[in-house]
Amino acid sequence: MLIDFFFTLRKYGLKTSITELLDLLNALKQQVIFADTEAFYQLSRLCLVKDETQYDKFDRAFADYFEGVAEIDIAASIPPEWLIPEVLRKLSDDDKAKLQALGGLDKLLETLRERLKEQQKKHSGGNKWIGTGGTSPFGAYGYNPEGVRIGQQGSGARRAVKVWDKREFKDLDTDSELNNRSIKLALKQLRKFARSGAETELDLHGTIQATSEQAGWLDLRFMRERHNAIKLLVFFDIGGSMDDHIEQCQKLFAAVKSEFKHLEFFYFHNCVYEGVWRDNKRRYTEQLKTDDIIHTYGSDYKLIFVGDATMGPYEIEYPGGSVEHFNELPGKVWLQRLLAQYPKAVWLNPQPKQWWQHYYSIGLIEQIMQKRMYPLTLDGLTAAIKTLL
Amino acid sequence: MAFVSTDNYIVSDELALAVNAAVTLEKPLLIKGEPGTGKTRLAEELAQSLNTELIQWHIKSTTKAQHGLYEYDAVSRLRDSQLGSDKVHDINNYIRPGKLWQAFTANKRPVLLIDEIDKADIEFPNDLLHELDRMAFYVHETGEQVSATERPIVIITSNNEKELPDAFLRRCFFHYIRFPDADTLRAIVDVHFPQIQPQLLSTALEVFFELRELPGLKKKPSTSELLDWLKLLLAEDIPAEVLTDKQQKGGLMPMFGALLKNEQDVALVEKLAFLAKRQGR
């Protein structure tokens, strides 16, 4: 029962398991719902999908599986009265003149209906919405059916367009390799426990020791709770070529931020120079001196750079090489100063590793970092953390 | 016994189905959604409609799974032993049942709310797998097996701060509370402020949805913020026309503090209103 449905879901990349399928069957057996496709859609989504980012995939799979199960003639169920005002509103006077030449709106709508029917046949009677690419008669005027928004007229459309075909969760689908949880699990290895804060935990050994020293007179001893004592300085490259990797970086950033208490982060562009900043909106007015950072944070901080290291070699090697301002000292010097203060340091590079050899600047940075550059993948992150500890 | 909208809480059909399925199949129901869409309220209303006890377990960053089961108070036992109290001979006197234990042993099938599970440590959900699956656990200190006489209705909420492990998700039903559309929202407002004038309400909703659609807002206002805002508007007796008048106060709506919770957002709205004003001229 529903085995094909289950495999369709898996084919669409949903990670549903057998337990979840059994749950669904059990729910059907208990008659939570009865003979109602829409309720079945909701129930199966409830049991089988556990993440709202997967709703879109589920909708597609559901539509695919049930295509033909419930055939509905879309063209017949579009009432003309809610097409006309919408279309008229969108047409300019010029368009309206052209429209008249073609025999008026009625004629045009007629064509649209026919086209809809035709299209439905071509797509084997499915309940898919009208395609987007220029097949519509509206194309001539620069409006495709999507622009006319045929499907969005409230409850009148509900019968025609099935809920799952609306695919309302489209925005949320992220097929990311690095998901947040796996980053956090990787970061979890970056831990060094130390006891700090108020003394709240019972120190059993201390208590036994102290009590026996007092010949059995109870002497309770407490100790501080264990906390992660890792301190991090993170430098993010921002802007320019990093735009392609912004999502990956944001995920890393979010994960880092929630996992570590002692965390300072700064932004730079391409290469670190005499100033960095904390807020991209105020980057010119509120720059922090790199020197001050070196003097403020002790050498027990660990240093992580996140950047693609893709730039002109002169941006690293020469004074005045920066693309944004005149730097008196080459970027190399600033990197080396930071590395001298923070011996535990890594560079995470979102560029795929196989491309690294094609960029001279990546080689330069790698040399300055003494080979401690890792790709921004799960394996790379794990390896980087090992170097940091 | 089906769960439906009450006098002061509006549920969508989808959510009602989700709750009823979870109740019938005795599975935990995981609820996600934007903050302020009534996730926690759901458990309260459900308990009320079933006329049963609501046991709330609010999760904090330091909460451990063990806290939900029981805690052994070694310190008071040691103290009692020093003072020669008779209580000391029975270890049961020092076992403090946690929320799960309370839920398992309740007389009538209770509603257990595990609120904001994503606040806890990343391993927390994994530590609860067995307990939620079997609805039973073992007390090491006394050798007692605590198991649920009736499986409690478990509602778990999450704000998506951390992703939950697959093994945990597989044991739950999942429902994502979507942001209500204008009609549902109107129904919700009606329930909370029956005496509000229709004109004020529709203008306020318009302003509210416009605000939600602004790209780049750090925190989109949600249902609970809308309700707070309306409360203020009613208290200050602000007429509907003032809401549409964008010229006042640099283009911000009156009492904007209830809707916008972040100075960057306020600045953004101000800037957009300023631009709109310039274009309008």
Nearest CA in chain B to A186: B122
Q: Is the pLDDT of residue A94 over 80?
A: no
pLDDT tens digit sequence for B152-203: 999 999 887 777 888 888 888 998 888 888 888 888 888 888 877 788 888 8
Q: Mark out the alpha helices in chain A (DSSP H runs).
A: 3-11, 18-29, 37-48, 55-66, 80-90, 93-101, 104-122, 145-148, 155-158, 163-166, 180-188, 204-213, 246-259, 290-296, 314-317, 331-341, 360-368, 378-388
pLDDT score, position A118: 58
The shortest CB-CB distance from A47 to any of B74, B165, B173 is to B173
Which of A108, A129, A152, A149 lies closest to A59 in space, CA to CA? A129
Tell me which residue in B166, B173, B178 faces A46 most closely, judged by beta carbons.
B173
Fold (CATH) for B13-177: Rossmann fold (3.40.50)
What percent of chain A has a predicted confidence (pLDDT) above 90?
A: 0
For the segment A288-319, what is each residue's pLDDT rounded down to a tens digit? 888 888 888 888 888 888 888 888 888 888 88
Pairwise CA distance, residues A372 & A383, whole Å: 10
pLDDT top residue among A224 and B93:
B93
Q: Can you spell out the DSSP letters for A19-78?
A: HHHHHHHHHHHTTSS-S-HHHHHHHHHHHH---GGGHHHHHHHHHHHHTTTS---TGGG-
Q: Is A188 an 8 Å CB contact of chain B?
A: yes
3-state SS assignment for residue B137: strand
Burial of B255 per CB tally in 10 Å (0-12, 13-18, 19+): middle
Which residues of B are less than 8 Å from A218 in CB distance? 78-79, 81-82
User: What backbone torsions phi and psi does residue A28 show, to the nearest 5 degrees?
Assistant: -65, -40
Helix (H) / strand (E) containing A236: strand A231-237
Per-residue pLDDT averaged across A58-85, rounded? 60
CA dihedral (B38, A163, B170, A20) in degrees, to 10, reads: 140
Residue B72's CB: how many other CB atoms inside 10 A?
Answer: 15
Is A202's Cβ below 8 Å from some Cβ in B? yes
B-interface mutation test, from A46, A58, A166, A209, most B Cβ less than 10 A away: A46
Would you list the domain boundaries of chain B? Answer: 13-177, 182-280
Pairing of strands B29-33, B173-177: parallel
Token pair recorded at residue A272: 């670190």
**How many other C-beta atoms are found inside a 10 Å radius of the C-beta of residue A19?**
12
Query: What pLDDT does B254 receive?
Result: 77
Q: Do B176 and A23 touch (CB under 8 A)?
A: no
Sign (positive or negative) of CA dihedral B6, B9, B13, B19: negative
Cβ-defined contact of A50 to B18 (cutoff 8 Å): no
CB atoms within 10 A of CB A118: 12
Q: Of the candidates A311, A306, A316, A298, which has an alpha carbon nearest to the alpha carbon of residue A367?
A: A316
**Cβ neighbours of A291 (radius 10 Å):** 12
Residues β-bridged to residue A375: A349
Mean pLDDT of B116-141: 87
How distant, in Å, are the alpha carbons of A9, A40, B54, B174 from that of A15? 8, 19, 33, 14
Residue in A32, A202, A258 nearest the CB of B24: A32
Mutation choice for A interface testing from B122, B126, B171, B184 by most A CBs within 10 A: B122
Contacts of B79 in chain A (CB under 8 A): 218, 220
Which residues have a Cβ under 8 Å from the Cβ of B135 and sit 6 or more positions away? B104, B147, B148, B151, B152
Angle at CA of residue A131, ends A125 and A135, nearest 5°? 105
**Long-range CB pairs of A280-285, under 8 A, 24+ apart, other chains included:** A280/A238
In total, chain A counts a number of residues equal to 389
Percentage of chain A modeled with pLDDT above 70: 67
Candidates B8, B10, B4; CA nearest to B37 is B10
Closest Cβ opposite residue B122 in set A39, A55, A185 = A185
Q: Chain A contacts of B173, Cβ < 8 Å?
A: 23, 46-47
Is the pLDDT assigned to residue B137 strictly greater than 50? yes
Of B17, B27, B174, Cβ closest to residue A49: B174
Q: How would residue B112 be classed by pLDDT, with cut points 50, 70 and 90?
A: very high
| CA distances from residue B166 to A17, A45, A181, B125, B244 in whole angstroms, order as listed | 10, 16, 10, 10, 48
ipTM of the complex: 0.70
Reading the block at residue A204, the tokens are: 């059993």
Per-residue pLDDT at B154: 93
Cα separation of the two ends of chain B: 60
Which of residues A71 and B57 earns the better pLDDT score? Answer: B57
Predicted confidence (pLDDT) per residue in A220-250, tens digit: 888 887 777 788 888 888 766 777 777 777 7
Domains of chain A: 3-66 (no CATH), 75-159 (no CATH), 193-227 (no CATH), 230-388 (3.40.50)
Contact state of A52 with B176 under an 8 Å Cβ cutoff: yes
Q: How confident is the model at residue B130 (pLDDT cuts 50, 70, 90)?
A: confident
- Which residue of chain A comes nearest to B168, CA vs CA? A50
Instruction: Say whether B244 sits in a helix, a strand or coil.
Output: helix
User: Cβ separation of B162 and A220 shorter than 8 Å?
Assistant: no
Cβ pair A72, A160 in contact under 8 A: yes
Q: Which residues of A68-82 are buried (b: 16+ CB within 10 A; e: fewer)?
A: eeeeeebbeebeeee
| CA gap A106, A88 in Å, rounded | 12
Taking 90 as the threshold, does the pLDDT of residue B57 lie above it?
yes
Smallest Cα–Cα separation from A269: which of A319, A310, A302? A310
The model's confidence at residue A266, banded by pLDDT at 50, 70 and 90, is: confident
> Would the CB atoms of B172 and A50 count as touching at under 8 Å?
yes
Burial of A365 (0-12, 13-18, 19+ CB in 10 A): buried
The mean-pLDDT minimum among A66-70, A376-380, B34-38 falls in: A66-70
For the cut 90, the answer to whether the pLDDT of residue B56 exceeds it is: yes
Pick A47 or A127 by higher pLDDT: A47
**Interface contact B82-A188, CB threshold 8 A:** no
